[in-house]
Amino acid sequence: MATFQFRTVPHIHAGRGSATELATIAAPLLAGVERVVLVTDRGVRQAGLIDAPLGELEVAGLSVLVLDEVIADPPEDMVLAATARARDFGAQLVIGFGGGSSLDTAKLVALLLGSDQPLSDMYGVNKVRGQRLPLILIPTTAGTGSEVTPISVVTVGETSKMGVNDPALYGDLAVLDAALTLGLPRHVTAATGIDAMVHAIEAYTSAIEKNPVSDALALAGLKKLHGSIERACLDGADMEAREDMLLGALLAGQAFANAPVGAVHALAYPLGGIFHVPHGLSNSLMLPPVLRYNAPSAEPLYTQLAAHLDLAGASTEALVTEMERIAGVVGIETRLSQVGVSHNDLPKMAEDAMKVERLLKNNPRPMTLEAAHACYESVL
């Protein structure tokens, strides 16, 4: 057996209504803590999703500062401003509550509060020095898997997306409560769900750190997501489908946290940075062309994934066709022109994608500037 290593969060608690029992579930982490920061976005707060867990924490005698300024593709300045407010408050523990952007922000806030290292020095892989504050992560979407990954992505400047990838970003506790996802709009359910499927697919074909544990998690996650995404989109109140989606996203997150993603994500980044296309939708748009580009190098692995999903004529093309079919059924965009991209934008997008070297090195087939341009053009 080849040498490999695998990391994940130390404690996962899953169950319906778990978020309403947060103070009890997190009691060991909360011992001796008096001041807590909860990082979320205004939509989640206005939907009332934080009300019950917030009330639980306050009944337990904790002072809680809610930071609800998070936006999609969180800007670096916003992360720094949130950290400053949390520091002034005297935060002793951080809770991330929401979608991937809220969880990514919370992870960085916890890290910056516990370390004197500037955020600008943390970008890249294994660049973090120092410790972070205790960290609890509670997802309200079934997509990014950020609750079990050591990765946070922010927008630097106008359009550039930069990532911090370090084991220090693993939380202490991830809480899965599918009830929090019941009100998720269909389009968001679809995009985040396909995002999670991309995580599983790219982890399974990761060129450098693919390993038996990540493979098992990727296969299990992909199967859960494939069997539930259409049900969750067609009936948003289907609790069993919501639970399968949330678990599938977590399993895929654990997989790609250890066997990193590749060119699908790298080519998706400019869509988020330049056009502010949601991360999940960006990945969904770029999945078919990148799979077809990778096929000469990854056909056996894509065939295994297609067979695992019981697709007829298991092959790369069968996998691509199935992902395109799902996108059509759940009703999300499938062409770049639908999200505001024109032919004139492609050269800049391809140049920006090629800068994401930390991801491109994981791709099963080396990506070139010309190939990146061609992938964009094929779905324009």
Domains of the chain in start order, with CATH, are 12-180 (3.40.50.1970), 186-378 (1.20.1090.10)
CA 206 to chain centre: 17
**pLDDT for residue 73:** 84
Query: ∠ CA(362), CA(121), CA(211), 5° rounding?
Result: 25
**Which of 177, 180, 182, 167 minimizes the C-alpha distance to 135?**
167
**pLDDT for residue 2:** 84
Measured in residues, the chain has a length of 380
**pLDDT for residue 160:** 78
**pLDDT for residue 16:** 93
**pLDDT for residue 103:** 97
Q: Is residue 189 within 8 Å of residue 232, measured between CB atoms?
A: yes
Residue ranges in the chain modelled with pLDDT below 70: none
pTM equals 0.95
Q: Is residue 347 within 8 Å of residue 242, measured between CB atoms?
A: no
List b or e across 62-77, with b for residues whose CB sees 16 or more CB atoms inside 10 angstroms.
bebeebbbbeebbbbe
Q: In the Cβ-directed half-sphere of 107, how many Cα atoms lie within 13 Å?
A: 36
**pLDDT for residue 331:** 92
For residue 379, how many other CB atoms are within 10 A of its CB? Answer: 18
Q: Where are the alpha helices (DSSP H) in 205-278?
A: 212-234, 239-258, 263-275
**pLDDT for residue 286:** 97
Query: ∠ CA(190), CA(194), CA(198), 5° rounding?
Result: 170
> Among positive and negative, which fits the CA dihedral 329, 331, 332, 338?
positive
Phi/psi zone of residue 312: left (φ > 0), alpha (ψ -120 to 50 degrees), beta? beta
Residues 6 or more apart whose CB falls under 8 angstroms from that of 51 comprise: none
Q: Is residue 148 within 8 Å of residue 8, measured between CB atoms?
A: yes
**pLDDT for residue 326:** 96
Q: Is residue 295 within 8 Å of residue 364, measured between CB atoms?
A: no
